Amino acid sequence: MTDQRLILVLGDQLGPDNPALLDADPATDTVLFAEVAEEAGYVRHNRHKIALIFAAMRHAATALRDAGFNVIYREYSEGVPSLKAAVDEALTRSGASQLLCTEPGEYRLLAAMRDWQDTLSCDVHIIEDSRFLSSRADFEQWAEGRKQLRMEYFYREMRKRYGILLDLDGSPEGGKWNYDADNRKGWRNQVEIPVRQWPAQSSITEAVITEVNAAFPNNPGDLSQFYCAVTPDEAQQQFQWFCREALDNFGMYQDALAEESTLLFHSLISMYLNIGLLNPLAVCQAVEAAWRKGDCSLASAEGFIRQVLGWREYVRGLYWLAMPEYATRNTFGAKTPLPDYFWTGDTDMRCLSQALTQSLDLGYGHHIQRLMVIGNFSLLAGLSVREVCDWYLAVYVDAFEWVELPNTLGMALHGDNGMMASKPYAASGKYIQRQGNHCAQCPYDPAKTTGEGACPYNSLYWRFIDRHSEYLTKNARMGLILGNWRKRAPEQREAILQWADQVLAHHAPNAA
């Protein structure tokens, strides 16, 4: 007689290639989904994120029931406190003697699940998540013995391993591995922005939206604008739209900041990759095929593929390599409490207000908004690393700790002692002006560093350089900037630093 198994499906494992379901048998296996308070509430998650995951879970459960599986589904309204409580109850209901689950994507949950073997009345099997293109063991092997873990070199190895954008002799198409220099054009409203078509909402999704609005009244997220696909087919349709309508301009304008558009030419598929509705290799191959058909530039194709095949796999590998100690790092000792307007968007800095409001309302921001607007301000103002990381984890629809923590702590805040980034991503207001047109709507002037109307990013930038000069002196890439600062007259430096203190008193009033 075959032992009965209980298969636990987590909220980021909702696609057909979940390893725990690949050999599942409807005759003997019971599948458990659970919307639990512990997972929905450990940070103040955006309502778009909660609605996406709950709706996608309910659709996945329906598909499994239609395939003949016995499915136990615990809705949030039932008040199940934790995954363990849901599992314990489901074991009793199903009579299963084994629990099977694909490993979770967050360290805290994996640590908790590893203790289940001692406390649950069954054998617990946590299997490797094979949906990623680089296993944790692969990344550890690549990292071993390297003094620096730079994404670019990892990315090249991944291109070779999967044969993506390679010439017949194995060299990179076009003669270069990276076309980032071609993908930095600022926005000046030069190109028509395509109109998006969002998935129609099923009765399941409509019910979830109503429930989430009622259960999480104080969380960010305007669900009257819910835009997410909640099934693999819907996610695939959204990706195909991107390939047809936006991919060709994606590369050129992926760093742009625009008053006219929240989304520009971005794909918005990271959330679908991160919960399993899309396959990362398949989307890379589709974008490569689009380039080979002449539907987009090589720079656009390479820029997109680098984010999925390179960056996404790299940050996951680094996360598991360095955790749990990684989460405690704080290179610059940043500890200023998060300003209240991070939860309202109510600041007169136009670029920051636009990025915050969009992130809060939609749970979406592209990488320059996250890195060079919100993250840059957080770095320059010395905002608490822990509070900033928790905010990013809460606000964005695609945020799970394995991807959020390295991107925020390591990339945006340079809080990991340079493990990820070769230099801090600090910039003045001139960078933001170059990338878009927010400055034209702002009361602050990116050409001014001090005095009434001066852009806050400017004086804060030089304050950051001055305050951390000892650390930055060790970085060869910062030599020119440090030299320019030190060449200024002492009274000029002092004036900038005093003005920066006034800026902080206004924009980060609890700054140390």
The domain limits of the chain are 5-127, 136-194+246-322, 340-507
* Contact indicator for 405, 389 with CB cutoff of 8 Å: yes
Q: Which residues pair with 70 in a beta bridge?
A: 30
Give the count of beta carbons closer than 10 Å to the beta carbon of residue 195: 6
pLDDT of residue 184: 80
Across the chain, which distance is largest between two alpha carbons, in Å?
Answer: 85
pLDDT of residue 1: 39
Which residues contact residue 183 at a Cβ distance below 8 angstroms, ignoring those fewer than 6 apart? 251, 252, 254, 255, 299, 300, 303
Ranges under pLDDT 70 in the chain: 1-2, 511-512
Cα–Cα distance, 71 to 414 (Å, whole number):
44
CA distances from 462 to 98, 379, 449, 499, 509 (A): 59, 12, 9, 10, 19
Cα–Cα distance, 424 to 115 (Å, whole number):
38
CATH of domain 136-194+246-322: 1.25.40.80
What's the CATH superfamily of 5-127? HUPs (3.40.50.620)
Residue for token digits 């207001």?
Answer: 429
CA distances from 15 to 12, 76, 227, 450 (A): 9, 21, 19, 53
CA angle in degrees (0–180, nearest 5) for 252-255-258? 100
pLDDT of residue 188: 84
pLDDT of residue 183: 80
pLDDT of residue 384: 98
Cis peptide bond upstream of 324, omega within 30: yes
Does CATH number 3.30.420.10 belong to domain 340-507? no
Environment class of residue 500 by beta-carbon count within 10 Å: exposed (0-12), middle (13-18) or buried (19+)? buried
Which residues contact residue 201 at a Cβ distance below 8 angstroms, ignoring those fewer than 6 apart? 209, 226
Return the closest-CA partner of residue 444 out of 356, 374, 347, 345.
347
pLDDT of residue 379: 98
Sheet architecture: strand order including 70-74: 70-74, 29-34, 5-8, 98-102, 123-127
